[in-house]
Structure 1
Amino acid sequence: MNKELLRRLPKVDELLNQEKIKKYLNITMRNIIVDSIRETICNYRNMIIKGRIDAFTNEDIINSVIMTIEEKDEFRLRKVINATGTVIHTNMGRSLLSKGAVERVIDVVENYNNLEYDINKGKRGLRYSHIEEIITKITGAEAAMVVNNNASAVMLVLSTLCYEKEAIVSRGQLVEIGGSFRVPEVMKLSGAKLVEVGTTNRTHLFDYENNISEDTGVLLKVHTSNYKILGFTEEVPLDELVELGKEHNIPVIEDIGSGVLVDFSKYGFAYEPTVQESIKKGVDVVTFSGDKMLGGPQAGIIVGKKKYIDKMKKNQLTRALRIDKMTLAALEGTLKYYLDEEEAIKNIPTLSMILADKDDIMKKAQKLKEMLEKSLRNYDFNISADFSMVGGGSMPTEKVDTYVIRIKSKKIATEKLEYLLRMNKIPIIVRVCNDEIILDLRTIFEKDFNTILDAFQNAESKL
């Protein structure tokens, strides 16, 4: 052990008086600075005791303190730049909110609001009343309510309409969603008894009909939005399932998943069922997400017949699954655009990115490439055609034409460069293919070009 080095370690007060550290007192909480100093001194003490260092300067310690202060002062949940081309990226927050939705959130949270106050009647109101009218207008449903996500929506529907009764569902629709959560397990937690019918690839109407009994609570259809079964397949058309439900007086429930409110087939994409179509075909209750194809905040939206929605509003689970004022404000701000499809496509980031014009993406790629080439000499930059993905468990087979910048460093290994970009102050999340860094311009905003340039420059400076 080097006792002389231990004696040279500065005290907390000494470091607090250092000019480089003192300036942080104006921008950072004092306890963060003190904790950072103590942690740094402790780290150096341990390294000296274990013989890992045999020399240091005060400047070394000051720089370590500053680095620790900056790390501690950062928020854990923070902005990243999504350069992967996956529009609804589950690991990066899914859908981005529109400016209109963000403004609605700020207005509501900065002020008192009428969350559960009926201004017209001057007494307590219901939080669902703020959002129900616009949802029913857009979808054509009789009634609507919102909970905190789509798994909650399915659970609430089944708990209300199928508690200790049987829910009949095709084996081919027993999907697993993100984080290893599975529809069958969610159903069981609701108190419903799962009855699987048909096979993985083929289910017929008689499979449902032959399993209907006095214990049947609902006929359930789950849209397999996150995968496709191709080849020798068959599933029961929705209108036939609705007719069967009417014949036996059993409600038909559809978990449509991604919450598509725009017919994407009009824009050259594969057909994806919309909520409006399900309601028109007579489905009694439809559930879907707010933060996937709809392009809003995380929410589970339930629409359908008023008699069923009213029962759900009285279910005790509703209290546990309800959404807060911020989600309500963001959802209302998002849905307002759907009153005019053109406005929705123009203003909701998820829709505008999915439907972005290839020529516009090329222009962005050329602009960013020129910026990077002008300032960086040790890289090769090439623009090429590629494919983006919708993501979020939506349109799994759909490849969307895009343009990317392929980057190869002459000095930094690609794996190392990816790490340095990811560890940037504002992380840049990229794709890596054929030993090249791939930047997909579909999901990159021009406002972030300078940040990307800085990240590459910072990567070089750390060599």
Structure 2
Amino acid sequence: MDDVRRLIPRTDALLADERFVAAASRVGRERVKAAIGAAQEAARAGRIAPGDVAETALAGLAHVGGRAVLNATGVILHTNLGRAPLSAEARRAVAEAAGCTDVELDLATGRRGARGRDAMAALAAKVPDAGGVHVVNNNAAALVLAATALAAGREIVIARGELVEIGAGFRLPELLESTGARLREVGTTNRTTVRDYASVLGPETGFVLKVHPSNYRVVGFTSEAAPRELAALCREADVPFVGDIGSGLLAPDRVLPDEPDAATWLRAGADLVTASGDKLLGGPQCGLLLGRADLVERLRRHPLARALRVDKLTLAALEASLLFPTPTAESLHADPSVLRARAESLAAALRADGLDAHACDSVAVVGGGGAPGVDLPSAAVSLPASYAAPLRTGTPAVLARLDNDRCLLDLRALPPTHDPNLLKAIRQCT
């Protein structure tokens, strides 16, 4: 039998194709060659037919800034998919902000205005327990700014069990030490008490830091100092108490009763709380600094704050995410019975096409380093495992998960408005 790989079109032949010539004038010859090479490799691996190389390469070149993906993994905040998807209102706000805006202008007076004042006002309104608010690039940047402004050349007191790795090999201790601060570790990996903190506080203490280990849990013989206890200790010692809640939950949520939130930690006495904007808040990537007005102002005026500031697009997306419902919140609070009904309807439509599809119960998770161990009841459309790869590389691209030799399309993180697109993607794989 002839090797089907011999049917894969040659690179020079494709580059001479007028469609690729036009693409090269738009995105550059090197990018076109890379897209062709990727499609050829997919054909060699058997993921696409040799005759589909040109169309696959052209489809890849049609997307600038990344391809849209339907998230059918059951992971609400999928880091590899950019975590929180923005709401329609936030997308419109970003599109409008892409032009000239009054981001730093007071139109009433014609003079310079406070940067991002509307977004800051919306954030302050969402967290009334914070005397001041500020926004930087991401949560790591918020911690770096706090460590630089409050503890450079001094000590940050932190529990040994909270020296976490935050993903992609970045470790919190190394991040904090890069600012010139020294870490003073207290307690043990599994048990830390208020007395452990009290025994090391002194003139060299820049602040006490409590980190929520949001992407793992330690169970068994464990103990930790509560935020309220640490706040009382820090007030007595006259040192700031900084809390990193990580996931960006601004207020308590019944679905996540054990997840720390900014309002609760501030009411417990935290002087400063840091969090992410692109996790449970459901907004763009950014880092939130919430707390005592004097501390926040001190950080805002620090020279490093300029290097860490967010742009007008982020401010626009953040404001809209604070003012309107987010896809993250909708996915988190989705009714399992509604998800099951959607799965049944989709599966029935596919069976009518002669496909091996059925609805099944599923389990979704929060993801994004938030709420580890929390399972969310969900529903999925089950297909043969062979569908996973063509769905992932199709248009629209669909990311599913494999379970017991089946391809599961979990609906928890997929808005119902995308159901027609999901059906289209599946039918294209047949």
The TM-score bracket by the shorter chain reads 0.7 to 0.9
Partner of 1:254: 243
Query: Is 1:219 the counterpart of 2:208 in the alignment?
Result: yes
CA positional deviation for 1:361: 0.5
Task: Indicate which of 184, 206, 216 corresponds to 2:173.
Answer: 184
The 5 A counterparts of 1:105-124 are: 105-110=94-99, 112-124=100-112
- Alignment correspondent of 2:429: 459
**How large is the Cα RMSD of the aligned pairs?**
2.9
Q: Is the 8 A contact 1:33 1:69 kept in 2?
A: no
Q: Which residue of 2 aligns with 1:382?
A: 358
Shift of 1:175: 1.1
- Gap regions ≥5 residues in structure 1: 1-8, 44-51, 53-59, 338-346, 409-413
Aligned letter for 1:292? K
TM-score normalised by L of structure 2: 0.87
Contact 1:170 1:197 in 2 (8 A): yes
More helix by share: 1
Query: Hey, what does 1:5 align to over in structure 2?
Result: none
* Alpha-carbon distance between aligned partners in 2 of 1:104 and 1:33, rounded to the nearest angstrom: 27
CA contact (8 A) 1:132 1:143 kept: no
Q: Which residue of 2 aligns with 1:284?
A: 271
Give the whole-Å Cα distance in 2 for the aligned partners of 1:202 and 1:39.
56
CA offsets, 1:334-389, max 9 Å, x none? 1124xxxxxxxxx21101111101111012111211221122x2x42222222110
Identical aligned residues as a percent: 33
Equivalent residue pairs, number: 408
Tell me how far 1:223 sits from its aligned partner: 1.1
In the other structure, the counterpart of 2:192 is: 203
How far has the Cα of 1:65 moved from its partner?
5.2
Q: How high is the TM-score relative to the length of structure 1?
A: 0.81
> Offset at 1:61?
11
CA distance 1:418–1:212, shift in 2 (3 Å): same
Is the CA contact 1:32–1:72 (under 8 Å) kept in the aligned structure 2?
Answer: no
1:166 paired with 2:160, answer no
What SS does the corresponding residue of 1:264 show, helix, strand or coil? coil
Does 2:326 correspond to 1:348?
Answer: yes
Distance 1:381 1:108, change over 3 A: same
Q: Does the CA-based 8 Å contact 1:255-1:288 persist in structure 2?
A: yes
Matched, 1:394 2:381: no
Residue of structure 2 aligned with 1:80, choices 69, 80, 94? 69
Alpha-carbon distance in structure 1 between the residues aligned to 2:148 and 2:55: 53
> 5 Å matches for 1:63-462?
67-75=56-64, 77-110=66-99, 112-139=100-127, 140-265=129-254, 267=255, 269-337=256-324, 347-375=325-353, 377=354, 379-408=355-384, 414=385, 416-460=386-430
Unmatched segments (≥5 aa) in structure 2 = 1-9, 38-43
User: Deviations for 1:204-229, whole angstroms, at most 9, x for unmatched residues?
Assistant: 11110111121111011111121111
CA distance in 1, matches of 2:226, 2:140: 23
Instruction: Return closer, same or farther for 1:244/1:123 CA change in 2, 3 Å cut-off.
Output: same
Give secondary structure in 2 for the equivalent of 1:369.
Answer: helix
Q: State the partner residue of 1:340.
A: none
Whole-Å separation in 2 of the counterparts to 1:237 and 1:13 = 64
Q: Which secondary structure does the structure 2 equivalent of 1:100 belong to?
A: helix
Do 1:128 and 1:145's aligned partners in 2 also have CA atoms closer than 8 Å? no
DSSP-derived class of the 1:334 partner: helix
* Corresponding letter in the other structure for 1:270: P
Instruction: Measure how far apart 1:75 and its partner are.
Output: 2.8
For the residues of structure 2 that align with 1:292 and 1:64, how far apart are their CA atoms? 37
